[in-house]
Amino acid sequence: MNKMELSVAPLHKNPEYLMDCCRLINDEWKRSDTARLHSLQASCDQLPTSLILLQNQTLVGHLKLTPIPRIQEACFVESVVIDKNFRGKGYGTILMKNAEEYCKKNLRLNTIYLSTKGQEYFYNKLGYTECLPISIYGSCIPNSIAPKQKTETHQNDNFIKGVPLPPPLPVNKTAIVSATKTFMKKQI
C-alpha cells in the first residue's frame, strides 16, 4: 500500500463518488438508495460531513461525522466502512486518523464519540475508550437529572370494554445481547 496513492476528502466536494459511496455503505447496512443518497447529500463543510478514502481515484472507505446537539465541541462518527476487498490492510486506521485530524483542524472539535458492535479492539488501538451511551438526536437530559414524571394508573387502563390487553411479547435474550452497542470516545 503506497500512502502517496491515498487521499481523504469530503464527499460534498467530490459528488462524483455519491453512487459508489451509496453502494459501499449499502453493502454493509441495507437501506434504500433514495434514503442513503439523501443522507449522503447532506454532507457539508460543517456537520454532518461524510469523508471518503480514495486510492487512485477508487473509493476504498467512508465515514460520517455527525453533530451532537448538546455537545458543541464534539461529534459522533458513524457509518465507518472499508470496501471488503481492502479490509485488514490498515485502511480503517488511515481513515480514522485522517478524520480525527479533520475534526481538530477544520471543525475545531476536541472529542469524537462512536458506537460499535464487535470492533472495540480496533477502536481501542486507536485510543478510544469506553464511555456512557450518548444521544445524537436533539438535546436530552440524562436520566439521573431528569425530573420524575408523575404517572397515574387507573383500574380500567388495562382493559378495553372489559377485555384485558394481550400479554407482552416474549423477550429474546440472545437478540438483546447481540444488539448491544459499546459507546466509545477519544479526546483529540
Tens digit of each residue's pLDDT (9 = 90 or more) over 77-96: 999 999 999 999 999 999 99
- pLDDT reported for residue 55: 96
Length of the chain counted residue by residue: 188
Mean pLDDT, the chain, whole residue set: 86
Assess whether pLDDT exceeds 90 at residue 42: yes
Assess whether pLDDT exceeds 90 at residue 177: no
Predicted TM-score (pTM) of this structure: 0.77
Going by pLDDT thresholds of 50, 70 and 90, the confidence category of residue 139 is: low
- pLDDT reported for residue 3: 55
Which SS3 state, helix, strand or coil, does residue 143 take?
coil
Assess whether pLDDT exceeds 80 at residue 35: yes
Assess whether pLDDT exceeds 50 at residue 153: no
- pLDDT reported for residue 141: 46
Going by pLDDT thresholds of 50, 70 and 90, the confidence category of residue 54 is: very high
**Is-contact 134 76, C-beta < 8 A?**
yes
| Residue that is written with C-alpha cell 471488503 in the block | 84
**Is-contact 115 184, C-beta < 8 A?**
yes
- pLDDT reported for residue 78: 96
The secondary structure of residue 13, as a DSSP letter, is G
Task: Count other C-beta atoms under 10 Å from residue 78's C-beta.
Answer: 16
- pLDDT reported for residue 164: 77
- pLDDT reported for residue 167: 77
Q: What are phi and psi of 86, to 5 degrees?
A: -115, 5
Q: Grid coordinates representing 59?
A: 473509493
Assess whether pLDDT exceeds 60 at residue 1: no
Assigned CATH class of 3-138+178-187: alpha beta
Q: Find the helix packing angle between 18-28 and 33-40, rounded to 10°.
A: 120
Assess whether pLDDT exceeds 50 at residue 143: no
